[in-house]
Structure 1
Amino acid sequence: MIGLPDLRFRATDASERMDDPDCDPVALERTYGRFHLVNAVVSGWRWIYRARVRPRLRPDRVTTLLDIGTGGGDVPRALLRWARRDGLALAVTAIDPDVRAIRWGLRQPAVPGLALRRAHSSDLVRIGERYDLVVSNHVLHHVTGDELGVLLADSERLLRPGGLALHADIARSRWGYAGFGIGTAPFQPNLLAGSYIREDGLTSIRRSHTVAELAAALPDGWRVRAAVPSRLEVWWERG
């Protein structure tokens, strides 16, 4: 059984290896390249697409979506693939402030409807961009309290009327930490070898919020719900 750290409070002083600008670039790119495997299991985006994204898409009108902190870009690629299979029109702008992530993403096979840009959400607010959907995956646990407020305010400003902002993240829990640690251990010598997936994943869980913590921190109009497996979703809708 994997040893459990004290998970009563967020480990805001813990750092993920891939966030270090001097981390091993080979390991970083292997991490980007394997995100899709882990997110397919733990991130719940297939359900989010069916329940939250697909009902807003149309075959005859392009719906625009902004993915904030896209990392390796696997989530927007999956959303575009599912929309295409359903005969629905979707265009995604995926942004990340880390030039390493954008450079890696631009070297991958092009996906129709996907634009990758190095930017912060506030950069897009300043130039007046608007989207039908604003999303992020596993970004909330990276930000401080002040940065969370900026991210949510930017999300509101970036939405068109009738739009939805949804930020999905890990929920900190003993079950989630133990489950991720045990579930990834057999793959560390092979599938996940040479990447930061397991190490940074465990750190991410320690840095993550609980639903109660986020509920107490969210501005008016924002809501949060628990989801499985050991996830949470924060959302806001523009009237």
Structure 2
Amino acid sequence: MTRDFLRHRAAGDFLRHRATGAVEEMDKPDCDPQLLERTYAQFPLINAAVAGWRGTYIQQLRPLLSADRTTTLLDIGCGGGDVPRRLAAWAARDGLPLRITAIDPDERAHAFAAARPAVPRLTFRRAFSSELVAEGATFDLVISNHVLHHLSAPQLHGLLADSQLLATQASVHSDIARSPLAYALFSAGTLPVFHRSFIRRDGLTSIRRSYTASELRSAVPPTWRVQPQGPFRNLLTYTAVAHGRVVSSPESARHA
């Protein structure tokens, strides 16, 4: 265990409440660019280990993909772009045509993602979800990975409102679930591996900022469903079918 962990636990308040004032190093505009670049490069390793997108793809997304037409998907806050790349590869391997638009408002994240080798039917764009709403864009599916804990309450509600407007079938937002065990395991597990990047430091900050399942349920509208996922994750989902909002996606029709 780290000294920070022991100090906070001794104070009796470690991880009892969300550390909403904590700021991740990579979110600072003046952070070290080399460390940031290395952090983006290491995201595929850490997301493969802890983010659980293979299971989420199989259980939540693949049943909604069609073999007969192109399904469209929007990834909000895509960071270095490793998650949409994995989704594109899995769908292609399954013979399910999927067109992905991956957005991030951070110029540095967008530059890194766009500079990687191109993937068929995957487009990176620097944008906020609200910009796509203003354009009248729609997608069959909307997702995000480890975005929710970054947001203030108004920003969270804005993201969910945008998701409901943008998704014609379903939205799936995956995030970390805060717990002392998650913090201790991540602290110990990343210590010998992730050097000269922000992965370990920012990962611990992310855990401190993240929601428990009960907190997330209290923070979101009742039309959204919180599903605890192991280990130490929450899925926040919205199904347009369940709420009577199913429309034909112009983007899907165009690329069918």
TM interval, short-chain normalised: over 0.9
- 1:164 aligned partner: 170
- 1:238 aligned partner: 240
- 1:52 aligned partner: 60
Paired residue type of 2:215: E
* 1:208 has 2:216 as partner: no
Q: How many Å separate the matches in 2 of 1:215 and 1:53?
A: 22
Unaligned runs of 5+ in 1: none
Q: Which runs of 4+ in 1 moved over 4 A?
A: none
Q: How many Å separate the matches in 2 of 1:84 and 1:137?
A: 20
- 1:185 aligned partner: 191
Q: How many Å separate the matches in 2 of 1:149 and 1:106?
A: 28
Paired residue type of 1:129: A
Tell me which of 88, 94, 103 is aligned to 1:95. 103
Paired residue type of 2:2: I
Tell me which of 71, 74, 77 is aligned to 1:69. 77
Which deviates more, 57-66 or 149-158?
Answer: 57-66
Give how far 1:173 is off.
0.3
Give how far 1:55 is off.
0.7
Q: How many Å separate the matches in 2 of 1:76 and 1:114?
A: 8
For the residue of structure 2 that corresponds to 1:186, the secondary structure is coil
Give how far 1:217 is off.
1.4
* 1:176 has 2:186 as partner: no
Paired residue type of 1:197: I
- 1:106 aligned partner: 114
Deviations 1:54-99 (A, max 9, x none): 1111222110000000000000000001111111110100000101
Q: Pairwise CA RMSD of aligned residues?
A: 0.8
Deviations 1:38-69 (A, max 9, x none): 00010010000000111111222110000000
Q: How many Å separate the matches in 2 of 1:59 and 1:101?
A: 32
Unaligned runs of 5+ in 2: 9-13, 242-256
Give how far 1:229 is off.
1.1
TM-score by length of 1: 0.96
- 2:44 aligned partner: 36
Residues matched between the structures, number = 233
Q: How many Å separate the matches in 1 of 2:179 and 2:192?
A: 21
TM-score by length of 2: 0.89
Q: How many Å separate the matches in 2 of 1:122 and 1:28?
A: 26
- 2:23 aligned partner: 15
- 1:2 aligned partner: 2
For the residue of structure 1 that corresponds to 2:192, the secondary structure is helix
Taking every aligned residue pair, what percent have the same amino acid on both sides? 55
Give how far 1:236 is off.
0.5
Q: How many Å separate the matches in 1 of 2:114 and 2:77?
A: 15
Give how far 1:30 is off.
0.6
